[in-house]
Structure 1
Amino acid sequence: MMLDVTDLVVRYGAATALDGVSLHVGAGELVALVGPNGAGKTSLVDAVSGLVRPASGTVRADGTVAQVPEGRQMFGDLSVDDNLRLGAWRRRRRDTDAVYDLLPDLRRVRRQRADTLSGGQQQMVAVGRALMAEPDLLVIDELSLGLAPLIAADLVRHLAQLNADRETAVLLIEQEVGLAFELCSRAYVLDAGRIVADGPTAQLAAAPELRAAYLGGFDGQENPS
């Protein structure tokens, strides 16, 4: 198992953000975590990444985990090349060519400052920076945030190709259900700190009560491309 989260509880003072959450991601698997604002998705990302200490429960990762944070968090005064190399600070090998092969649109802007890029290009840099760590699991928090639908769909295609080429597992935390279900074959639905449903994305999209309550009416027929 690439990632195994069991009975996770996260509290901030008296407030409980996650209440007994369990989920898993297998090797090479594409898994989505969806849910409304305030459901606890970012708290789960922070717990998986070691940024918060759980009150109870366990997080076990087999292999290297890299995170693409919400909001991209670029170093605007550095070039694309330099931003990418920061992702490999723990590794001797900092060659960016493999990332440019996977994300060829970045190659032509590799010398540009990150703050001159479009939102979609910056998100590609954030993904590429995480890939510089050569992760076994990529945890992506809100891939589509602030992006036009066509640009977000293009990023999803890049991630699908990455998974096909490298068998990199992905846990995608995302509010845009259609986008998440386009990429992932399995998903968890989080609400008020608890997993309220999980299973194959096609099965979840076909459940009327889930569509109405959590999936924004998504029925599995939309295509974000």
Structure 2
Amino acid sequence: MTTTHLHPERTSADFAGCTPTFPGLPGATLQTGLRLANFQAKRLIFNRLGQPGQVHVYAAECRAGERLRVQLLVPMLPVGGAVVPAFAVVAQSLPYSADMQKLPINTPAGFSAVVATPPAQLTAPSKDLLTRVRYYPGPLIDTRTLVGGRAYIVVWSPHNHMGKYVLQVGQRWPLRWTYWAQLPFFWWRIRGWFGLSRAALVGAIAGVALAGAFVISLLRRTQRD
């Protein structure tokens, strides 16, 4: 895989509305996959293939007709260390199946899979509007379940490469205010995972704290007068 800037870097909102998830080591089979609440809410999965031949499996319960949308985002890290893995959506009776023989794991009878292989070239870098981290948008799988049951996302490197990767999962935007209240925390975690400076947030928080202290001081003086 090569990276070539054939297109100018664009500012995007791909991370908008996504809850970042930093899981531990997922299981390597359908039976031991890491359980997630669902695949419908917008989510960013930040993880790392730590050994050659390692397989990551994520699992969630789905209802019949639910959309399964997964896109690979290849992080641009200051000191390298990213990987461009293959990934797949596996479930019972998907509308179509593609390259199922490339899966690194066995699947039960009646299951289908759509496999996205690593692209030969990444050409259009993006920069997230909020966090300012940079990445290459990768392949996208967008399908639906035909029957209810457990669905899976499988991640692996056909070339036994190691490194960090990001998956963008789901399409449902968060409606609770608590998500938006956590944006500074999300900013902090994502910048740190990419190995980038967090000084901007520290400075902003310090500025807000100083401004707040100044306002409180003025109010106290006014009350005394």
More strand, by proportion? 2
TM-score normalised by the chain length of structure 1? 0.25
TM-score normalised by the chain length of structure 2? 0.25
User: Larger Rg: 1 or 2?
Assistant: 2
